[in-house]
Structure 1
Amino acid sequence: MSSATKRLAAIGARRAAGGKGGITSICSAHPLVIDAALRHGALHGADVLIEATCNQVNHEGGYTGMAPAAFRGLVETYAGRAGLPLDRLILGGDHLGPNPWKHDSAAGAMRKAAAMIDAYAAAGFTKLHLDTSMACADDPVPLPDETIAARAAELAKVAEAAVARAGGEKPVYIIGTEVPVPGGALEPLEHTHVTEPADALRTVEVHRKAFSRLGLDGAFDRVVGVVVQPGVEFGN
């Protein structure tokens, strides 16, 4: 891992030891936002985590028209202008899964999701959020936890193979998805269901088993976070 990715992976252990602090995820493709974040990081000598969602950037271009490699090039160009050393930059993919193609069959949507995460991993994105929670056209609603975890493990296997092929550093992963779809909720939210600790622990265990079935125990050791619903929400 790069020094920045190692520091990201160490946040959990530091908090478990009683420390405080985390890292802000800048999930935007707007040049002004990216530039401001990078200049702030350079000014304070801090790591900067820039992320793109599956809708913004994917192997088909997304709504930005950029594949992951092009987005990386854009961010690194801005980092150079801002004076941020590249070892302070972490690139992430958010909600990586079948969401952009959920109106297709599950098999078709997952093929496209696999191509997308292959592109992210091969382009050197080192923080990958595996989000396979959305039901596709021929899926039951809601999806069983075991199905979600099995699909997440499938995508992790693709990412691991892409990194091995490209020769980059191994990524860290985020699992879980108790938040709205990328971009925010599509309807007014009157109430939120705060994640129970037991549910978060079940998410971890179900994913652990799914990864293990595919021989991905080493990849699961690089899971550094679980998405939960803390009771704070936003709309579209």
Structure 2
Amino acid sequence: MSAVQSLIAAHRQGHPVGLYSVCCSNEQVLLAAMQVAQRHDTLLLIEATSNQVDQFGGYTGMTPPQYRDYVLALAARAGFPAARLILGGDHLGPNAWQKGPAETAMAHARALIAAYVAAGFHKIHLDCSMSCADDPVPLPDAIVAARSAELARIAERTAAEHGLPPPVYVIGTEVPVPGGEASLAGGLQVTTPAAAATTLAIHREAFAAPDLLPAWERVIAMVVQPGVDFDHSSVHYYDPAAAADLSAFVEQQPRIVFEAHSTDYQTEAGLHALVRDHFAILKVGPA
């Protein structure tokens, strides 16, 4: 069991623990995160998104091995133990190539997943929710799950080929856009328990092939919208009452927790409440 799995297991056993995920490539942000993790003697989860880092360089100009080496160099400089550092890949799928046909986009996504896993990224968010140029809109859940399972199969094979620990996975896609919304004027819709149940059931079915059953046992979290986000001028703060039904739903599920995105600017009390309510992985960016 990896360190991330152990932490999530402790949360599910009733311990008030969670994990923040720093999704950023900014040197000062990452060094600050390392200082905090050192001070509190915790793991540090650092993630790259599929548009930040890919096999072609992404908008940072870094491939997964280059990003890994960059973060490890910062850790060495800061005196942060590499053993407490976990790398994750966020929104890994056809996102960057969705304007092209699905087969082309998925071919790039398959190479993307292999590159991340081969580079030692351990926490993998499988996100095939976006419609490509020749796909229906919106993309049916069954296709989303089937494509995610296909990428999980590649991740499993890549880890085995490179002698790496098998990855842990995050599924689900009801998230704010990376970096926050342009405007919150339209309000936020908290994920319903019915929608979460559908996502979970369809992915479970897609992972039912014998070679993917071990991967399914390493699905640690599902991304949902608990009602938090921000735009350039305002913050939508966490309201526990609005997410109470969603929180109660995950209590009935074995093993998994929820992952909440765009938790930048939430209050300390709000972050405590999110973790208490099983949104145990909190993603933040440079904001």
Q: Is the 8 A contact 2:176 2:225 kept in 1?
A: no
**C-alpha displacement of 1:156:** 0.5
Q: Relative to 1, partners in 2 of residues 1:21 and 1:234: Cα closer, same or farther, differing over 3 Å?
A: same
- 1:109 aligned residue: 105
- 1:40 aligned residue: 36
Distance 1:138 1:214 in 2: 30
Residues 124-152 of structure 1 deviation map (CA, whole Å, 9 limit, x = unaligned): 00000001001110111111111100000
- 1:197 aligned residue: 193
- 1:98 aligned residue: 94
Q: Specify the SS of the correspondent of 1:24.
A: strand
Distance 2:178 2:106 in 1: 17
**C-alpha displacement of 1:39:** 2.1
Matches within 5 A, 1:61-80: 61-80=57-76
**C-alpha displacement of 1:187:** 5.3
- 2:176 aligned residue: 180
Residues 179-199 of structure 1 deviation map (CA, whole Å, 9 limit, x = unaligned): 133333355542211111232
TM-score, normalising length: structure 2: 0.77
Task: Name which of 133, 136, 148 aligns with 2:132.
Answer: 136
Calculate the aligned-residue CA RMSD, in Å. 1.5
**C-alpha displacement of 1:8:** 1.5
TM-score, normalising length: structure 1: 0.93
- 1:57 aligned residue: 53
Residues 149-197 of structure 1 deviation map (CA, whole Å, 9 limit, x = unaligned): 0000011111111111111111100000101333333555422111112
- 2:165 aligned residue: 169
Q: Relative to 1, partners in 2 of residues 1:8 and 1:189: Cα closer, same or farther, differing over 3 Å?
A: farther
- 1:155 aligned residue: 151
Q: Relative to 1, partners in 2 of residues 1:154 and 1:235: Cα closer, same or farther, differing over 3 Å?
A: farther
- 1:223 aligned residue: 219
- 1:82 aligned residue: 78
Amino acid at match of 1:76: L
Q: Which consecutive residues of structure 1, in runs of 5 or more, have no partner in the other structure? A: none
Comparing 114-123 and 80-89, the one that deviates more: 80-89
**C-alpha displacement of 1:18:** 2.1
- Aligned length in residues: 232
Q: Which consecutive residues of structure 2, in runs of 5 or more, have no partner in the other structure? A: 233-287
Runs of 4+ aligned residues of structure 1 deviating over 6 Å after TM superposition are none
Q: Relative to 1, partners in 2 of residues 1:104 and 1:187: Cα closer, same or farther, differing over 3 Å?
A: farther
Q: Is the 8 A contact 1:53 1:94 kept in 2?
A: yes
Of all paired residues, the percent bearing the same amino acid is 51
Distance 1:102 1:192 in 2: 25
